[in-house]
Amino acid sequence: MEYRTLGASGCAVSELALGTMTFGHETDEAGAHAQLDRFVEAGGTLVDTADVYTAGASEEIVGRWLASRPADVTDRVVLATKGRFPMGEDPNGAGLSRRHLHRALDASLRRLGVETVDLYQAHAWDPLTPIEETLRFLDDAVRQGKIHYIGLSNFTGWQLQKTVDVADFRGLARPVTLQPQYSLLSREIEWEITPACASEGLGLLPWSPLGGGWLTGKYRRDARPAGATRLGENPERGVEAYDRRGGVARTWAVVDEVRAVAEERGVSMAQVALAWVRDRPAVTSVILGARTVEQLGWRGREERRPGGTENGRRGAPKAPAAPRASSSGPTCGCRHPPRGRSRPGGRPGSRSTRPCRARPCACSCRTSVRRSTRRASGRRPRNAGRP
């Protein structure tokens, strides 16, 4: 397992995160605890949940796991949760208002059995609440020690930019991450969201990196899903519904291409799809979701990129080691500037510490490329000093 900074923060997290939306619904408590055990044994640290997952049961299951494991195990966990959606019939029981988030955060802390959550995320934009009200509450929660970092989820490009601008203008704690849907089948965030995150130092935490199972190769053109799979049980389920995606020619073109690459490299289709998402610009950690510990164990072995080993067996041959880049420039023939050097297009007067993310490359910048986008130290916040 490798680690990256949580956006522009100094907190390091595993490049694979464990999503817990199945806990208490598709996965019982024993199975959920087994997944958490397997995940941390593999070196995973980032665990993502939300108050609305199974009406709070997911947080309760995670909380009981935290309470039942030794501190040397749980201290490594970077815990993330979310608030925004309704948990009852109260007219003030939803949204990003100060009133709702105050109660939602306290309830999440009780269910998780902790005093502080590492990353608290606004689960979606609220058109009825001024974003300044939301940010002021989150800033207060940071100052009170209830949360360490602020994150966003499912925001559009303009919503993300407005949130960051208001936080900077008012001198409030700014978000460090954004959770979007992102996979080879869902790339719309590349138009505006990814550039905005890279510019403002937010790390991406993509969910559904396997396209709801489509990129594992288990669905076929000539046969509707059947059996003990999500679409086998409900072909019209969610954004990955069979007729919705299966009726699009591009879906099968992408699936065929992923299958061809996987066969050429001697790895699984899921490995190819995960490696692609993991190496996209601004990505901090990729959220995996599993119904069984066997599925998670299989994915845990996907930590190696195509060409490594799998299940302890030798896969496709590894590429030969390339010479390390010298201080005067790389020797592998790529166009990456050495780490810490100014990059073209950077802000005037700043010395960027952000590594280049172009591919392919076999030079020493492969190490630095796994670090999330970071802001240059000492940079004056936008509009600082204004009233």
Q: Which of 17-21, 70-74, 179-183, 364-368 has the lowest mean pLDDT?
A: 364-368
**Domains in the chain: ranges and CATH:** 3-314 (3.20.20.100), 323-382 (no CATH)
| Cα gap 254→257, rounded to integer Å | 5
What is the structure's pLDDT at 219?
81
**Encoded tokens for 367:** 């190490």
- How does pLDDT run across 298-357, given as a tens digit for each residue? 444 444 444 433 333 223 333 333 333 333 333 343 434 433 333 334 333 333 334 444
Lowest mean pLDDT among 62-71, 118-127, 285-294: 285-294
Q: Are 21 and 290 in contact (CB under 8 A)?
A: no
Phi and psi at 251, nearest 5°, equal: -55, -50
Report DSSP state, residue 317.
Answer: P
**Would you tell me how many other CB atoms lie within 10 Å of the CB of residue 358?**
12
Strand, helix or coil for residue 238: coil
Q: Which helix (H) or strand (E) holds 286?
A: strand 286-288
Instruction: Decide: 131 and 98 in contact? Cβ < 8 Å.
Output: no
**Mode of pairing for the β-strands spanning 3-5 and 12-14:** antiparallel
Residues 6+ apart with CB under 8 A from 371: 4, 5, 355
Please report which helix (H) or strand (E) contains residue 179, including its range. strand 177-179
Higher pLDDT, 362 or 246: 246
* Mean of all residue pLDDT scores within the chain: 79
Under a CB-based contact definition with an 8 Å cutoff, are residues 1 and 42 in contact? yes
Q: What DSSP designation does 324 have? A: P
Contact 49, 62 (CB under 8 A): yes
Do 46 and 14 meet the contact criterion of CB atoms below 8 Å apart? yes
Cβ atoms of 322 and 367 closer than 8 Å: no
In eight-state DSSP terms, residue 46 is: E
What is the reported pTM?
0.75
- The least confident of 5-14, 37-46, 317-326 is 317-326
C-alpha 357: how far from chain center? 17
Q: Which residues are catalytic?
A: 53
Cα 154 to Cα 115, 157, 343: the distances in Å are 26, 10, 30
Please state which of the ranges 36-45, 201-210, 338-347 shows the lowest mean pLDDT. 338-347
25 touches 56 (CB < 8 A): no
